[in-house]
Amino acid sequence: MASRGDHLFKGDRAFATGEGWLARLIAPAFKPVIDRLDERLARGGIHGTLPDGTRREVGFNAPGHVATVQLHSYMALVRLALAGSVGWYKAWERGEWSSPDPVPLCALFMDNALSLGDTARAKGPMRWLNALAHRMRDNGIVKARENIAAHYDLGNDFYAQWLDQTMSYSAAMFKEGDSLEDAQERKIAALLDRLDLKEGDRLLEIGCGWGSLAIAAARRGASVVGLTLSTEQKAWAEAKIAAAGLADRIEIRLQDYRECDEAFDAIASVEMVEAVGERWWPAYLDCIRRNLKPGGKAALQFISIDHRLFPAYRESADFIQAYIFPGGMLLDEPGFEKLAAERGLAWTDRHGFGHDYAETLRIWRERYDTAVESGGLDGFSGRFHDLWRFYLMYCEGGFRGRGIDVAQVTLEG
């Protein structure tokens, strides 16, 4: 009997993970991968245990993140060497490696991504197959709806179990003593502060989520149009807006950003651009340029990957693209900024806060585990819960390893 969320495991069919009888036959020959890791880990290291019980210290050439890993099968190294993070997740799911805490390992890999080179990246035919599988999920107007539904239509009840009361599914901005909800409200306020909204201004929100930013903007006097492709999010946002008595100020549309052509005083978008895919970055910025009145401002919150890592990242597909966000792509910030400049949009007042995203993800994982233990997520399989936990740990490690960042920026037309 199928469980909710099982559709996310389509990645097992679409993406190569290093499976097969030949891989199992030659798995012990991949033991030298450990030697390459040992040589190329510039900072930090791994306290490892091999399948035969032998202890192995890997790296420790300079201070850095320290992980503990039990290697139960050399198949894990096959998958890592051939299929990168897609294979590494599959090896974890299969029990071919384990760790008391995978977050430091993910942080270690990210912190050393440049020195590791292709050691932990997909290569050869598997890289090509995974790149092709990712491109088959390209976010054209029809496919974008399917991709968004795959993630966000898991159900409002699912997200409500572990997000905070604002239903914010993006990085919070913390100050000492903040609850998650406090930090999320601070993030929303910081983004809106960039727009200098006045009473009666029209605000377009591209990717409006569950409506919290739209409500906050309406309370500042703005008239808001929010765009989403998720029927679940639209229903939740409209109910929340009605309960707040702001239905006359906010309209939530089930509409693609490429189909919007109106005049707005300001535009806001929080962690939406990562979902559109590199091919559609120009269209996304064209939407901002087309809909923003002369002299208006747009405020974006986005996730980017280290510019030096982007060429290798774009040539394949990672765990997130295979299982979590079909069609997505983290920003190459310099490249995206250049596209904005070509459209007459000045890139100003950038503020990065990747460490806050790591903390946000840690709290989400704690809340997720609590929801599972209390029975709040009983409609999902154990396999799904493991996938979601790995996703949250993988992302937290990426931010702690500083290879990915989150930032707010103002675009001025």
Pairing status of strand 66-71 against strand 45-49: parallel
Residues contacting residue 21 through CB under 8 Å, at least 6 positions apart: none
Task: Find where tokens 């007042």 sit.
Answer: 349
3-state secondary structure 379-402: CECHHHHHHHHHHHHHHHHHHHCC
Cβ atoms of residues 86 and 319 within 8 Å: yes
**In this structure, is the dihedral angle defined by the CA atoms of residues 120, 392, 317 and 79, taken in order, positive or negative?**
positive
Taking every pair of Cα atoms in the chain, the longest distance, rounded to a whole number of angstroms, is: 70
- Compute the distance between CA of residue 133 and CA of residue 404 in angstroms, rounded to an integer: 23
Q: What is the DSSP letter of 10?
A: G
Contact call for residues 37 and 59 (beta carbons, < 8 A): yes
Cα distances from 322 to residues 136, 161, 302, 329, in angstroms, run 11, 24, 20, 11
The residues annotated with a catalytic role in the active site are 395
The radius of gyration computed from the CA coordinates of the chain, to the nearest angstrom, equals 22
Contacting residues for 408 by C-beta, under 8 A, at least 6 apart: 190, 191, 194, 299, 300, 301, 350, 351, 353
Q: Which residues pair with 298 in a beta bridge?
A: 267, 411
The tokens describing 401, both together, are 């390893």
Q: Which two tokens stand for residue 4?
A: 């909710």
